[in-house]
């Protein structure tokens, strides 16, 4: 049976993205997601300010190395959540609430198990990972302390992200905003307390920053679970539905089959970032610290692209599930327009105020500041192109197409970006590292556009009608019983 109507009063904040004007709906959905991204990046920046101001450039370089590793590990389990989000969105568009709950429950079980395993392995092998990155000796010990505590917090942080993604799949981008705010408030408040040992707390140094993040994610995760239960939100699992946490084989195959390639896309990004860190580390600790500062700034510049891309993916998935292919192309065009306008405005702002913003992270007269300004001026404009890729990938992933984006990312990150960084060094010196970013983004968006226009992504399927088993979203009637494809 189809389950409760998504439009009913029992589904607060959930939105039907398959009807009405596309532009306003996309913008209203993207803005809370953008707000969540702002808060998340602001939290990282505040933490970096505490670390840089109180513990110095060596500790800041340590967090830069450790955060790249965490992004790598995040990618190992992120794909499961993205696959589940697509399933939730398509099921919601088809008005199959029970199918959405099954996908959500299966993803929760898989991500919890995977994050516990990855966290345990990361704790054990953290020293070897840092050595493989050629982490500077001055930053090695603080990076190890920071990284090991972060590994402990991997399960709640992964579950929190997955819960946010699931809610967005049902059209709710507001609830994740509030609980991201809660996490940021706790984290940013506890950081100086635990770093400096204020009041009765022990002085933990850089490990205190990581412990603050762990506590904040635990609190937000528990709070969101309680809120979903209290508000009787559609994805909350009650009674016998809790068995969905033990995934059935069909959902496992679908989530793994689509989630692993999506996770591999994250791993491609992460490993290319790790390789870049290895190249940057060879230019000395001031350049490493400068690169870490600029990465904080880039987090903000990427936020509109990530928010609009997530909104496009959720909106496209619902329309695919509802057989509204006529709206999918219009969603993509609207996403490209909003990304270009908002990201370009962000780029102009951070270039205009770069000295003021970058100066927040280091003390006056720091040798890292002019290096960071130079990196910012050379490379930041390329994120306008990056945003176009996120929108195009958001649409094709909404129909379960994952191998095309994976191949495109691999080519643009390794042969193009890293290849250029190395090949141009005899002529550009260290600037070859920074110019490789916009050049790689240009190659990425060109290949993504070609795949969107001429690739076979429209033929894929994640949900098919149970009665016929035909592999076409055009056959999924709203309210019909559906099951995972493949």
Residuewise pLDDT in 10s, the chain (486 residues): 444 444 444 444 566 788 888 999 999 889 998 898 788 777 777 777 777 777 776 677 777 767 767 766 666 667 777 788 888 888 888 888 888 898 899 888 888 888 888 888 888 988 888 887 777 777 777 778 888 888 888 889 889 988 998 898 888 889 999 999 999 999 989 988 998 888 888 888 888 888 998 999 999 999 999 999 999 898 999 888 888 888 767 887 888 888 888 888 877 887 888 788 888 888 888 888 888 888 878 878 888 998 899 899 989 988 988 888 889 999 999 999 999 999 999 999 988 888 887 887 766 778 888 899 999 999 999 999 999 999 999 999 998 888 999 999 999 999 999 999 999 988 888 899 999 999 999 999 999 999 999 988 887 556 544 433 333 333 333 333 445 554
Cβ atoms 405, 393 nearer than 8 A: yes
309 contact partners, CB below 8 Å, separation of at least 6: 335, 339, 387, 390, 391, 393, 394
CA 276 → CA 133, 290, 457, distances in Å? 10, 14, 31
Q: Which CB contacts under 8 angstroms, 24+ apart, belong to 432-437?
A: 433/276, 433/279, 433/280, 434/374, 434/375, 434/378, 434/379, 435/378, 435/379, 437/379, 437/382
217 closest CA partner among 277, 273, 151, 266 = 151
State the distance between the two ends of the chain, measured CA to CA, in whole angstroms: 21
Task: Say how far apart CA 241 and CA 199 lie, in whole Å.
Answer: 45
Helix (H) or strand (E) holding 284: none
Compute the CA torsion angle 226, 178, 307, 313 (nearest 10 deg): 30
Rounded (10°) angle between helices 57-93 and 249-281:
150
Report how far residue 235's alpha carbon sits from residue 226's, in angstroms, rounded to the nearest whole number: 12
Rounded to an integer, what distance in angstroms lies between the CA atom of residue 370 and that of residue 375?
9
Give the per-residue pLDDT at 234: 87
Ramachandran category for residue 233: left, alpha or beta (phi over 0 → left; psi -120 to 50 → alpha) = beta
**Which residue intervals of 353-477 are DSSP H helices?**
354-358, 368-379, 383-397, 403-411, 419-423, 425-428, 431-454
Q: Please check whether residue 218 is in contact with residue 157, taking contact to mean a CB–CB distance below 8 angstroms.
A: no
Please name which of 56, 69, 71, 70 lies closest in space to residue 142, comparing C-alpha atoms: 56
Strand ranges in 22-149 using DSSP code E only, listed in sequence order: none
**Quick one: pLDDT at residue 26?**
92
For residue 210, CA distances in Å to 135, 267, 292, 300 come to 18, 22, 17, 21
Q: Cα(389)–Cα(385) distance, rounded to whole angstroms?
A: 7
Locus of tokens 């979903």: 228
CA–CA separation, 322 and 327 (whole Å) = 10
Helix (H, G, I), strand (E, B) or coil at 464: strand
φ/ψ of residue 424, rounded to 5:
-85, -5
In whole angstroms, what is the distance from residue 287 CA to residue 284 CA?
6
Which among 15, 98, 82 is positioned nearest to 483, based on CA atoms?
A: 98
**For the whole model, what pTM was predicted?**
0.77
Q: Which of 6, 220, 12, 241 is nearest to 109 (CA)?
A: 241
Structure tokens given for 20: 């009405």
Model pLDDT, residue 174: 92
> How deeply is 187 buried, as exposed, middle or buried, from its count of CB atoms within 10 A (0-12, 13-18, 19+)?
buried
Rounded distance between C-alpha atoms, residue 371 and residue 291, angstroms: 8
């Amino acid at each position: 049976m189809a389950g409760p109507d998504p439009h009913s009063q029992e589904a607060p904040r959930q939105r039907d993205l398959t009807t009405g004007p596309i532009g306003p709906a996309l913008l209203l959905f993207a803005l809370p997601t953008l707000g969540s991204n702002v808060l998340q990046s602001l939290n990282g920046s505040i933490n970096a300010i505490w670390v840089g101001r109180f513990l110095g450039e060596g500790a800041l370089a340590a967090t830069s190395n450790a955060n790249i590793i965490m992004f790598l590990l995040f990618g190992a389990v992120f794909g499961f959540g993205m696959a589940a989000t697509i399933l939730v969105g398509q099921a919601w568009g088809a008005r199959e609430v029970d199918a959405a709950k099954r996908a959500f429950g299966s993803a929760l079980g898989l991500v919890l198990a995977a994050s516990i395993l990855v966290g345990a392995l990361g704790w054990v092998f953290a020293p070897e990972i840092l050595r493989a990155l050629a982490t500077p000796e001055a930053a090695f010990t603080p990076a190890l302390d920071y990284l090991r505590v972060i590994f402990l917090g991997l399960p709640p942080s992964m579950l929190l992200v997955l819960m946010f993604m699931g809610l967005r799949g049902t059209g709710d981008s507001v609830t994740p905003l509030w609980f991201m705010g809660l996490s940021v408030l706790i984290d940013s408040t506890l950081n100086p307390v635990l770093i400096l040992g204020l009041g009765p707390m022990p002085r933990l140094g850089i490990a205190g920053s990581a412990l603050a993040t762990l506590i904040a994610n635990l609190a937000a995760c528990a709070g969101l679970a309680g809120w979903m239960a209290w508000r009787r939100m559609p994805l909350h699992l009650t009674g016998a539905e809790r068995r969905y946490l033990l995934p059935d084989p069909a959902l496992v195959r679908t989530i793994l089959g689509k989630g692993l390639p999506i996770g591999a896309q994250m791993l491609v990004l992460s490993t290319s970032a790790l390789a870049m860190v290895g190249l940057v580390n060879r230019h000395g600790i001031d350049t490493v610290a400068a690169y870490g500062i600029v990465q904080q700034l880039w987090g903000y510049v990427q936020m509109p692209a990530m928010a609009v891309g997530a909104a496009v993916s959720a909106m496209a998935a619902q329309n695919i599930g509802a057989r509204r292919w006529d709206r999918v192309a219009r969603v993509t065009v609207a996403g490209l327009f909003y990304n270009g306008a908002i990201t370009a405005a962000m780029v102009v702002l951070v270039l205009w105020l770069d000295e003021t913003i970058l100066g927040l992270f280091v003390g006056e007269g720091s040798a890292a500041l002019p290096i960071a300004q130079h990196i910012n001026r050379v490379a930041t404009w390329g994120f306008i192109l990056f945003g176009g890729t996120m929108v195009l990938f958001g649409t094709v992933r909404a129909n379960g197409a994952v191998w095309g984006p994976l191949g495109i990312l691999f080519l643009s990150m390794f042969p193009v970006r890293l290849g250029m960084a190395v090949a141009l060094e005899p002529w550009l010196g260290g600037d070859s590292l920074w110019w490789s970013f916009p050049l790689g983004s240009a190659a990425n968006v060109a290949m993504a556009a070609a795949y969107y226009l001429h690739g076979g992504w429209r033929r894929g399927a994640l949900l098919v009608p149970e009665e016929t088993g035909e592999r076409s979203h055009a056959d999924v009637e709203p309210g019909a019983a559906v099951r995972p494809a493949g």
